[in-house]
Structure 1
Amino acid sequence: MAVKVLNLQQRGALRSFLDECRALRNIRHRNLLKIKTACSSIDHQGNDFKCLVFEFMTNGNLHYWLHPEKYDQQHQTKKLTFIHRLNIAIDVASALDYLHNYCQTPIVHCDLKPSNILLDEDMSARVGDFGLATFLSDTSSNSWSHQISAALKGSIGYIPTEYGSGVQASTRGDVYSYGIVLLELFICRRPTDPMFHENLDIHKYVSMALPAHVMEIMDPILLLAEEEKNMNKPDQLATRMKEYLLSILEIGLTCSASSPRERMPINTVLSKLQAIKKSFLSEYELDDK
């Protein structure tokens, strides 16, 4: 099991604990991190102590697979293949689809990023950390534009652009964060990479590269892993892989569009990614794990 101990000296920590407990209390989905129990007590110094106990994810979080530290030998010796990444993208989209469309009261995660995506022993993804999650009111369940919180929620690089101008959290904001994660998952560049600046962000970088230079911006480890698995048909691989990657990055670009109205609903994203996976597996006859 994994234990998350809250630093109650940090501003908003208690509210975060209560929000996370509320969000996790009634949700059940295979791609959401499962909570075992919560603890609220007093420590040996007489201070408030609060923690959450979750299932342990043996493969850590997605961030450390995409950006391993030099000393992290475990992740340096393993490669995220195309199908690994596609499965992760589908798992996360499935989790968001559940939160947005299948909970009694729709939930906005508000902090989707690679470090909040955990991987189990089979490399299946679980979305965790609901400390910023917010519930939409019952009257807003069919409205993406409903505004629910005045606070700027999220992490730098993954925060929807409209939040910075005062627009409040919505499911469209989660879709934006998902789009950024999807781009990062395949090109392996953080949205906060030093190469990005005021006039060039990850969305524009990918958009400028498509379609002609798509293979040039891909994570080299992804391409190497696929070459090793398909050495007997390199030409066919290059052509078809380019088509699959183009389709995925175009989804990422649509999700991370600056205008909320242009973003693809998460259930549509899920359907498109599942179709890509079905086509890929039928063509290459690969095991899906």
Structure 2
Amino acid sequence: MENLTKREVSRQFSNRALKRGFSRQFSRQSSMDPRKNNQWFNFGRQSSVDPVQRSSVQEELTVPENLDSTMRLLFMACRGDTKGVEDLLNEGMDVNGIDLDGRTALHVAACEGHVEVVKLLLSRNANIDARDRWGSTAAADAKYYGNLDVYNILKACGASVPKTRKTPMTVSDPEEVPEYELNPAELQVRRSDGITKGSYQVAKWNGTKVSVKILDKDSYSDPETIAAFKHELTILEKVRHPNVVQFVGAVTQNIPMMIVSEYHSKGDLGCYLHKKGRLSPHKALNFALDIARGMNYLHEYKSDPIIHCDLKPKNVLMDSGGQLKVAGFGLLRLSNISYDKAKLSNPGAHVDPSNIYMAPEVYKNLIVDRSVDSYSFGVMLYETVNLLYF
């Protein structure tokens, strides 16, 4: 068993066989997005919080060809065509359908000041506090464009007007908004659970369970914390592998800032080992190979090797099918010395000397390379095979 494990793990962990063996390509976060077939609505006035304000269209609008039903609804609302909006809703069109900026027909009608359209949409249970990707509501848009009749109607119905707040990552050009940016209104985080600084908690994104890391608001003025947040986000966004936790998206243009990744109900490897007890040789080997494949991918990443530095059972998650996924990489920010050697950018940050999985080079602030992860992997493998908990 020991020889078989050593041979198989060595092959996966330290060479490029995996890269040649895998041909499957994993799509970006947008492949998980239920809005992936939607379009941008670019007619008329844009969101009051859109970083680039466009002048409103003055000429008579005609319905372009090849618009889907959601875009037709937004177009009719922009034109003030109450009858057209009513016909689409009678045909079963979702009154809260959105474009890629998260704008609803109510947003559009409020921007344009079409009172009757707004009344119709409200009578059909339009979400009065729906927020677009910049966090603006229909009431905020109506107020911004001076459409006081619409604004007063919305306020009388209980609409809220969110305060506009900028984050340390706010961009001035909408074309610079990252493609992974999520609409915070689509994330349902249970505040009652309590938010621990820097930790992940369960939330729902468009009805799907996800893990959300919320940046503590007191950290927004701390350059080191923001730099670490950006570093983690940059690494998560670029990696795709079946044995690496999948990045879903992030909120960087609204407060609170968040990183969203896939959720795994079976928890981490540490919890699994304590619950299940001794593993069969076959199961132990499969787990070892899952971790080795994930780490091999990170170590052989095409631009720069990604050194984990904090590989441990708590940073290995299990999906519903029992497959392991490496997580927690990117938490320790490194300064590259050469192609495959680095040092901690902020010595002492997130480093626990009592962590027996961590290689001595890390907590001693020495130069590190991929071997520090091999050390951590070896300790984990010993624990898995011998069922000794540290």
TM-score, length-scaled by structure 1? 0.53
- Unpaired runs of 5+ in structure 1? 43-47, 69-74, 192-289
Instruction: Indicate if the aligned counterparts of 2:362 and 2:368 stay in contact, CA closer than 8 A.
Output: yes
Q: Map of 1:89-128 to 2, 5 A cutoff?
A: 89-128=288-327
Instruction: Indicate if the aligned counterparts of 2:266 and 2:319 stay in contact, CA closer than 8 A.
Output: yes
* RCO higher in structure (CA 8 A, sep ≥6): 1
User: Aligned pair in 2 of structure 1 residues 36, 170: CA closer, same or farther (>3 Å)?
Assistant: same
TM-score, length-scaled by structure 2? 0.40
Q: Map of 1:204-243 to 2, 5 A cutoff?
A: none
Distance in 2 (CA, whole Å) between partners of 1:164 and 1:5 is 25
User: Aligned pair in 2 of structure 1 residues 17, 166: CA closer, same or farther (>3 Å)?
Assistant: closer
> Which of the numbers 358, 367, 370 marks the counterpart of 1:168?
367
> Which of the numbers 55, 62, 77 marks the counterpart of 2:269?
62
User: Aligned pair in 2 of structure 1 residues 26, 98: CA closer, same or farther (>3 Å)?
Assistant: same
The answer to whether structure 1 residue 147 and structure 2 residue 342 are counterparts is yes
**Range moving further from structure 2, 116-125 or 127-136:** 127-136
- Any idea what SS the aligned residue of 1:4 has? strand
Give the letter aligned to residue 86 of structure 1.
Answer: L
**Range moving further from structure 2, 59-68 or 5-14:** 5-14
Distance in 2 (CA, whole Å) between partners of 1:107 and 1:136 is 12
- Unpaired runs of 5+ in structure 2? 1-208
- Which residue matches 2:144? none
Q: CA RMSD in A?
A: 2.7
- Which residue matches 1:40? 252
Instruction: Indicate if the aligned counterparts of 1:95 and 1:127 stay in contact, CA closer than 8 A.
Output: yes
- Which residue matches 2:285? 86
Decide which structure has the larger Cα Rg and report it.
Answer: 2
Distance in 2 (CA, whole Å) between partners of 1:61 and 1:38 is 22
More helix by share: 1
Give the letter aligned to residue 88 of structure 1.
Answer: F
Q: Map of 1:187-202 to 2, 5 A cutoff?
A: 187-191=386-390
- Any idea what SS the aligned residue of 2:243 has? coil
Deviations 1:28-63 (A, max 9, x none): 111100011111355xxxxx4122222222322101
Shift of residue 181, structure 1, vs aligned partner: 1.2
Distance in 2 (CA, whole Å) between partners of 1:53 and 1:182 is 29
Instruction: Indicate if the aligned counterparts of 2:231 and 2:333 stay in contact, CA closer than 8 A.
Output: yes
What is the count of residue pairs matched by the alignment? Answer: 174
Shift of residue 140, structure 1, vs aligned partner: 2.8
Give the letter aligned to residue 338 of structure 2.
Answer: S
User: Aligned pair in 2 of structure 1 residues 30, 154: CA closer, same or farther (>3 Å)?
Assistant: farther
Shift of residue 127, structure 1, vs aligned partner: 0.5
